[in-house]
Amino acid sequence: MSVAVRAHAKLTLSLRVTGVRDDGFHLIDAEMVGLDLHDVLEIDPDVDVTQVRFTGPFATGIAADGTDLVSLALAGRGRTASVVVDKRIPHGGGLGGGSTDAAAVLRWDGVGDDPDELAAASRLGADVPFCLVGGRARVRGIGEIVDPLPHVDRVVTLVIPPLGVATPAAYRAWDELGGPTADGPNDLEPAALAVEPRLERWRDAIADRVGRPPVLAGSGATWFTEGRRDDALADLVDEGARIVVARTLPRSG
């Protein structure tokens, strides 16, 4: 019997890159929150071979060839399933779209949030442990240390431009730039701008309309600003952006 599972986006409110391990993984100290923006996974375990299909507004460009995080999460658990993912979270947007889908599969298969399980989840991706925990949390290490924080109800406006930034590329650029510390809350912003210079134009366009600089979500390419500002940013839709007003979520359970 198939089951529908929600996979909520994560938003990185602040991100400091604090070092690099000998194995090349970057150490972080971040504050993350879950959002009501979400994908929906239809999971049917009654198959012998895993089949993953992506649909929805942000399905374009995601390879369902066994290398996607949904397939890898199932393989890591020794499970097979037919999974249809309705992608409402952008791919390459810095909102944890692939990671939260993987975390949804892990939760469906009974994975919890004790330290050993979070450490195992981090092997899939640095955002997967937080997506397992949800709510609001301080995230450290390579993402496997997740300390829940009290919920703060807040509304943010996301501007999703028609481009993406791959997280590995952003971290490589951070290394190549000498490990910069950003003036704002996100140390990956200078690196993301180096990878995708068009982000600067979007940042400036948003700032002109809302009166303050937006913050880059994770490694990009989504920008966000506090409060409901969709009216002020509505004309950016004509340039290919998607505007999403989202609210933070408390930790479930």
- Judged by DSSP in three states, 149 sits in coil
Q: Is 231 a catalytic residue?
A: no
Q: What is the pLDDT of residue 208?
A: 98
Q: What is the pLDDT of residue 185?
A: 96
Across 121-195, where does the E strand assignment appear?
136-141, 145-148, 155-160
Of 10, 87, 101, 187, catalytic: 10
* Cα dist from 39 to 45, 55, 56, 129, 238, whole Å: 19, 10, 9, 17, 25
Span 175-203, pLDDT tens digits: 999 999 888 999 999 999 999 999 999 99
Q: Is 87 a catalytic residue?
A: no
Mean pLDDT of all residues belonging to the chain: 95
pLDDT at 9 over 90: yes
Interval 30-46 mean pLDDT: 98
**Domains present along the chain, CATH in parentheses:** 3-148 (3.30.230.10), 155-249 (3.30.70.890)
At residue 228 the predicted structure's pLDDT band, cuts being 50, 70 and 90, is very high
% of residues, the chain, pLDDT over 90: 93
* Cα dist from 209 to 117, 159, 205, 221, whole Å: 43, 12, 7, 18
pLDDT at 209 over 90: yes
pLDDT at 124 over 90: yes
Span 54-73, pLDDT tens digits: 999 999 888 888 999 999 99
List, in order, residues 6 or more apart from 65 with CB less than 8 Å away. none
pLDDT at 253 over 60: no
- Please report, as a single letter, which amino acid is at residue 176: E
% of residues, the chain, pLDDT over 70: 100
Of 39, 68, 113, 127, catalytic: 127
Instruction: Identify the bridge partners of residue 160 per DSSP, sorted by sequence position.
Output: 242
Q: What is the pLDDT of residue 118?
A: 96
Q: Which helix (H) or strand (E) holds 97?
A: helix 97-108
Q: What is the pLDDT of residue 216?
A: 97
Token readout for 188 is: 């990956």
pLDDT at 92 over 90: no
Q: What is the pLDDT of residue 15?
A: 97
pTM across the whole model: 0.94
